[in-house]
Structure 1
């Protein structure tokens, strides 16, 4: 009934276990050997917060599954466990591991360490969450000397205060050896759990290691006997061993391994929404000198997001027109690439419009009775803190102008529209929010004054100007804040009530982009008001990344059914054809040339980047027309379809000849990695006598009315209009951009399948994605994995288009593009080895922004 009332549900996710997994939790509960004091309190808190029963039950089940895979704290023999929990950005991972902490404490774990990111603001925020959900007291108050102030009961403390955990950190200060020593001499002397929430910082970890060695390590081995749970939040950030040689270890990675090795019984659980870097950890680095690395060798658990999760599927696919606004006016004012001394004298009009949208959206929320809730805007437009400071000043100027106008004219009814600033707010309301519930203009105008009185513009970064995002100060009216920052806004930090986002960054690393997506999360009662301003290329990247993440979760579910191990799952992810860009280059091992094993199994490869060299384009056209002539010579039928022509049963030799002739680039211009003909032809050659012997060829023709048909061989085809990157276009390189980097659509990959095969693929998708809406686009990977699927070559003509300086659309010459849809493979290994070096990576994907940010001038 709860689910029916709220329409919110949550699945249990998938689990990949090591072969030696032996459950213990069920029997321990039945035998009465562990209690539920801490979890019982936390469950009551979740219920008090209004979470649907289905979501609380799912959290209960998932945290049981994680705990069952940790070591049994009643087992006194030495043991060590390594695992990873894969969630979604801003989907409730903190709530999940808070529940795990509660259950681990009930089971008998006596030291719990939470490592919460690399910035103070994130550590403080996480400490506050642990205070509320596990400790039950405000640790910031406990830090005061005045005893009258030291007993502020919060959160779970209201449901039972007999067993308060001991916290050696608080919301004000990170771990400190002297403070810890004054509180306790040995962990084992306490009958309640000891918890620390620390920053992922080498000095902090050094202090903790020294303190444990001095006060809790015993015996000849100088190890700690109490069981320890280490939770690594944002586990892909700074925890990974990025040293290039196998016998070198980065400092934080080595300290985490040293910390785990100090305990006879220890568990490591990494929580992340972007696990790609973790999968690149070498599972064999477990010699005595390096201890055991953090590869999740014992379990990997995927968390399903609740059905009300506001994620990439909803923002960039299902409701893109509602939520996404394109930034296309920044290059002359705030170019994507700029230096630390770049001036910010004016703001792009798109940013000013986004600020106005935030003011109007907050007014609508207040009109809906949400004035007590928080509302935030995010502006992430530069990696340099100095530039962020200038941006903050200019944005504050905009807010001040609006505030002054509303103070003078806001109460004048319709006459207020004579004010240019109020008229501009009205124009934004008219174009963005007229259909929103409770959003008529008089109601909005009546709320503008209270919004602007409360509104603050703050910097959130590593500079001295930075201000904390203190959402406790809002009181009955909530906080209204515009946060300007960079990397500090990009990992783990939650912006409460995030409504409007302005994102102008160009990292092409999957994990960086996903973590920067602070707009993902839950937006109860105001989801319809949320907007994301982003460059067109970014929209395509996020849609593409969503598919990669969706594929990862699907792989987890499939490998769970196949009873695969984490090592096998790691190999599958590492051989994903786009693994080379999923994470920062320095998280992937050696900086010299190295072999990557790339699998094309169940993958789609498309030509999204082609050099528009006249001779090259003629050669490619000739290759395509020659293929069609060969098919005619072979006596194969061209079946007319609603969206083109289909040819069945094409010999692999014809496909190989086409790929051998087709070229995406001259020798001196780097092409996309996946369209490298050697890689593809090697993969095909290994299967040419078996599963890739016969192909289907689909010659696609656009169903749009934008262009007239053109001759291609003996066929007439309508070209597909596709936006291309104007910067590359000026250099004679056609890079597909716009709102999708894909040349074709998911329906293309249905071609060649029978009705029964299509039904089987769609049923599998519904089974794996029960939360998907009935009309959701089927992930095309399901068409590739269906039984009996033949490989598919898709040909189409693409007419590139860009806007000139006057905003008019300019078309280039038609080019031939192709896509290859590969089915499942039963051939052992299923990979092709590919050599990539640092220079090649930089040519293909640009500079690594994360590394630049670590140099000191950046946030």
Structure 2
């Protein structure tokens, strides 16, 4: 797009900020008028219409208000103080957001949400001592930095004079965060100041108003050090403007900052330590948590943050994270004689809703993975073991690349070309390759990809203009094959794509991003970058215009996996060309985590309605079955440990089965016995979608079935004894009678599939299994989706009126109109379920996903049996049962903690 187009876009966006939504005709009339006066009519008619459509799209993007859980002692102060606050920093930041194309509804909601957060901090004009602790829970790559940049602006307007941002454990993330603060708050390019330029370049908010420039004691190139701080001492002493620091979560940096603050305070307590201080901990679940396990550095950093807060009479701590699973394991009562209270968010927890155009885990791993058919965005890596094994040493030699990586590279280059054809040539496009935690291996991988890229570019230079090249040149032929598979249904023909390929990809480059190198550079428009990295790419770092990902990691830790999801975010006008390659087993983990994350945000909403406190929220989430995976990261050596888990309003299913003949035969017998008892008694029986429902089945029949069940050791949440203990404790009241669904397809595709169990004809469901798990001795039902039950099964047994009510509530949260397509999460039905539901399934193994090898001899014959339980909400939700964790098995299932071989955590 031209500079005139960008100028007109910014002008129109500013003109409609805060106005009522304009009709299509009114918007186009305004655009035409401003085109005449602002650009002299330089934007042509076609681009004027494109601008109108883009603005209409931004108008249509919405964002909910999120949920707020407060302690019982919240004292509002902001509304009263607002009449005295000059919103200088916020207003210019608001203008920047609009200029950068943030949808108007999102800007409006951001204004509201940051007010809610600021109002829960301490009043900076209240001179008595106070400290506040809170947490903001967002989504990966959903705009947390934009949120806390807005909060910083409002805090500075309100009177905070020292603001510290702790931005991750790596230099590249700290530098990137500094650049965002430069643009959104300072208005100066601190990187240019650091290079010795006499004149600081005005950027971002500084282009709107250029006075009251905050003092930054860090730059885009340099973390905090005492000499820089002392050079700014005269400015700091006056405090006419706010002082901001963006520091790395690093032992030496924190120690130097604390020492410098103490040295300042010794010269006059009121000069520094008495000033109100706001501390923002970005990626708060990483290294800030006092796990008491692992490297001493983690616990040390936790103590240093607490020391830093303790050095101020008036301080606020806010942890920002998209993966709060570790934070909620902080003990609210934990205290330490040296460091004081831990960082539990005791005063407030705020959940941020993602805007409606967010490209996140739910869209990719739940909505984008149908029960039948191929995933929309996901592709599988099945061909790596020979040349690039999942588990490898730091000495691994990379001689060749898996074919799937060649396909991913081709898809990226084609996507870049299609984006250019759509008029996005001035926008960045990135590809992420995250395949090894070792920087040496990353370097070799970078070399091989560079060679592969150059071969493609050389072929395009020589043969790219030939129509026959798609069949005769091997590199162009591969591009054509990938185009046919991935993009042939889009608006451009192969001839159009082929003609534009060379111009689109000639400047593409392959770079490393790790603790030894950072090749990311988005300073000029339209960069095309293939980034190779590991841990450095797994935490907070933004890859601009990320379009294609090739991901090969063996960890299943919640926070690590979600933070590796750099592909989450916003993909305006190019979501349809985004592709993610990953191992099939990783898909099931991401799907599971996406559901758990969705449930966490729903839990926040429920607790807000019930007016519960952060401590009660922490207790609820700590007892979630997800704790079995989260806590596994804190390994305690060999042997076993127990984890207390609650099953109120939870769903468990046997997605993993023991593959042994004895186990499969015994479980079929247990199911047959249960079905026989159902038929022999006069329980209410009704045909429902998915099978036959029996009502008011006594708990004794359920307990007998579970007692006979042979659980796979690898199926953690379906351990039988904890389930029986939980049920047994409620067997005389809440769980005394059950609904039982005997699953059966209404019609089988293959008549030979039908089986008869105790006189009852059942059409088994068909599911794939994951080939990679067979050597480990278990069947992963549902293949990469690891799902036995079909969507909607938890609606069975619930009165229609109750189901419609909770569905309407969820639609309002998701901003979906009645009748629009939506996948309702099972958790909403558990809140109104009158009785627990046991769903019993017979499953015919269809094929082994990811391999053409024959199935085990005991699988192609009789169906295997699986089950699921949907527990209703319990009146005794705080009562938990203990699950056993075998740390050796956890390591086998979940993989190791992930970090670069020379990560710079000190």
* TM-score, scaled to structure 1: 0.94
Deviations 1:142-170 (A, max 9, x none): 123341xx221000001111100000111
Deviations 1:320-372 (A, max 9, x none): 43311111111222221122222221111110001001111101111111111
1:676 matches 2:719: yes
User: What residue is the counterpart of 1:443 in the other structure?
Assistant: 496
After superposition, where does 1:122-141 map in structure 2 within 5 Å? 122-141=173-192
Q: Is the 8 A contact 1:659 1:677 kept in 2?
A: yes
1:618 matches 2:665: yes
The 1-side partners of 2:476 and 2:289 are apart by 50
TM-superposed deviation, 1:583:
5.8
The 1-side partners of 2:644 and 2:655 are apart by 22
1:721 matches 2:766: yes
Partner SS, residue 605 of structure 1: strand
User: What residue is the counterpart of 1:524 in the other structure?
Assistant: 572
User: What residue is the counterpart of 1:254 in the other structure?
Assistant: 303
User: What residue is the counterpart of 2:423 in the other structure?
Assistant: 369
Q: Is the 8 A contact 1:110 1:188 kept in 2?
A: no
| Structure 1 residues 5 and 179: alpha-carbon distance in aligned structure 2, compared to 1, 3 A threshold | closer
The 1-side partners of 2:269 and 2:275 are apart by 16
User: RMSD of the alignment, in Å?
Assistant: 2.5
The 2-side partners of 1:595 and 1:495 are apart by 40
The 2-side partners of 1:218 and 1:592 are apart by 54
User: What residue is the counterpart of 1:323 in the other structure?
Assistant: 377
Q: Is the 8 A contact 1:217 1:225 kept in 2?
A: no
The 1-side partners of 2:638 and 2:208 are apart by 53
The 1-side partners of 2:167 and 2:542 are apart by 13
Q: Is the 8 A contact 1:79 1:266 kept in 2?
A: yes
After superposition, where does 1:445-484 map in structure 2 within 5 Å? 445-463=498-516, 466-472=517-523, 474-475=524-525, 478-484=526-532
Query: Bigger CA drift: 766-775 or 8-17?
Result: 766-775
Query: Bigger CA drift: 86-95 or 427-436?
Result: 427-436
After superposition, where does 1:482-631 map in structure 2 within 5 Å? 482-582=530-630, 585-586=633-634, 595-631=642-678
| Structure 1 residues 187 and 795: alpha-carbon distance in aligned structure 2, compared to 1, 3 A threshold | same
Q: Is the 8 A contact 2:767 2:783 kept in 1?
A: yes
TM-superposed deviation, 1:525:
1.4
| Structure 1 residues 803 and 223: alpha-carbon distance in aligned structure 2, compared to 1, 3 A threshold | closer
Query: Bigger CA drift: 124-133 or 725-734?
Result: 725-734
1:640 matches 2:687: yes
After superposition, where does 1:73-472 map in structure 2 within 5 Å? 73-147=124-198, 150-184=199-233, 187-217=236-266, 224-244=273-293, 250-320=299-369, 321-415=375-469, 417-437=471-491, 439-463=492-516, 466-472=517-523
The 2-side partners of 1:841 and 1:186 are apart by 54
TM-superposed deviation, 1:505:
1.1
After superposition, where does 1:779-790 map in structure 2 within 5 Å? 779-786=825-832, 788-790=833-835
Structure 2, unaligned stretches of length 5 or more? 1-20, 23-54, 370-374
| Structure 1 residues 774 and 727: alpha-carbon distance in aligned structure 2, compared to 1, 3 A threshold | same
Query: Bigger CA drift: 728-737 or 776-785?
Result: 728-737
The 2-side partners of 1:162 and 1:415 are apart by 59
Query: Bigger CA drift: 745-754 or 299-308?
Result: 745-754
* TM-score, scaled to structure 2: 0.89
TM-superposed deviation, 1:807:
6.0
1:778 matches 2:831: no
Partner SS, residue 346 of structure 1: coil
User: What residue is the counterpart of 1:62 in the other structure?
Assistant: 113
User: What residue is the counterpart of 1:690 in the other structure?
Assistant: 733
The 2-side partners of 1:89 and 1:805 are apart by 32
| Structure 1 residues 9 and 642: alpha-carbon distance in aligned structure 2, compared to 1, 3 A threshold | closer
**Among 645, 655, 671, the residue aligned to 2:702:** 655
**Among 58, 65, 68, the residue aligned to 1:15:** 68
| Structure 1 residues 330 and 86: alpha-carbon distance in aligned structure 2, compared to 1, 3 A threshold | same
Q: Is the 8 A contact 1:166 1:194 kept in 2?
A: yes
Deviations 1:628-666 (A, max 9, x none): 22223322244333421111110011111111111114x
Deviations 1:401-459 (A, max 9, x none): 0010011111234556532211211121122112223x222222222222232100011
Q: Is the 8 A contact 1:637 1:647 kept in 2?
A: yes
The 2-side partners of 1:376 and 1:807 are apart by 36
The 2-side partners of 1:807 and 1:368 are apart by 43
Q: Is the 8 A contact 1:540 1:741 kept in 2?
A: yes
The 2-side partners of 1:828 and 1:467 are apart by 48
Q: Is the 8 A contact 2:783 2:848 kept in 1?
A: no
| Structure 1 residues 140 and 36: alpha-carbon distance in aligned structure 2, compared to 1, 3 A threshold | same
TM-superposed deviation, 1:856:
5.9
Deviations 1:381-417 (A, max 9, x none): 1112122111111111110100100111112345565
Q: Is the 8 A contact 2:748 2:754 kept in 1?
A: no
User: What residue is the counterpart of 1:26 in the other structure?
Assistant: 79
| Structure 1 residues 760 and 287: alpha-carbon distance in aligned structure 2, compared to 1, 3 A threshold | same
| Structure 1 residues 116 and 635: alpha-carbon distance in aligned structure 2, compared to 1, 3 A threshold | same
Deviations 1:161-184 (A, max 9, x none): 110000011111111111111121
User: What residue is the counterpart of 1:819 in the other structure?
Assistant: 868
TM-superposed deviation, 1:594:
5.5
TM-superposed deviation, 1:770:
2.2
Partner SS, residue 303 of structure 2: helix
Q: Is the 8 A contact 1:490 1:515 kept in 2?
A: yes
Q: Is the 8 A contact 1:223 1:264 kept in 2?
A: no
Q: Is the 8 A contact 1:490 1:516 kept in 2?
A: yes
**Among 732, 749, 764, the residue aligned to 1:705:** 749
Partner SS, residue 132 of structure 1: helix
Structure 1, unaligned stretches of length 5 or more? none
Q: Is the 8 A contact 2:279 2:317 kept in 1?
A: yes
| Structure 1 residues 395 and 434: alpha-carbon distance in aligned structure 2, compared to 1, 3 A threshold | same
The 2-side partners of 1:517 and 1:590 are apart by 29
Partner SS, residue 512 of structure 2: strand
Q: Is the 8 A contact 1:384 1:858 kept in 2?
A: no
The 2-side partners of 1:754 and 1:663 are apart by 33
User: What residue is the counterpart of 2:31 in the other structure?
Assistant: none
Partner SS, residue 92 of structure 2: helix
TM-superposed deviation, 1:738:
2.1
The 1-side partners of 2:640 and 2:876 are apart by 27
| Structure 1 residues 144 and 74: alpha-carbon distance in aligned structure 2, compared to 1, 3 A threshold | same
Q: Is the 8 A contact 1:384 1:857 kept in 2?
A: no
Deviations 1:57-86 (A, max 9, x none): 000000000000000000111111110000
The 2-side partners of 1:740 and 1:270 are apart by 32
TM-superposed deviation, 1:679:
0.3
TM-superposed deviation, 1:809:
7.0
TM-superposed deviation, 1:589:
9.4
The 1-side partners of 2:266 and 2:181 are apart by 26
Q: Is the 8 A contact 1:511 1:583 kept in 2?
A: no
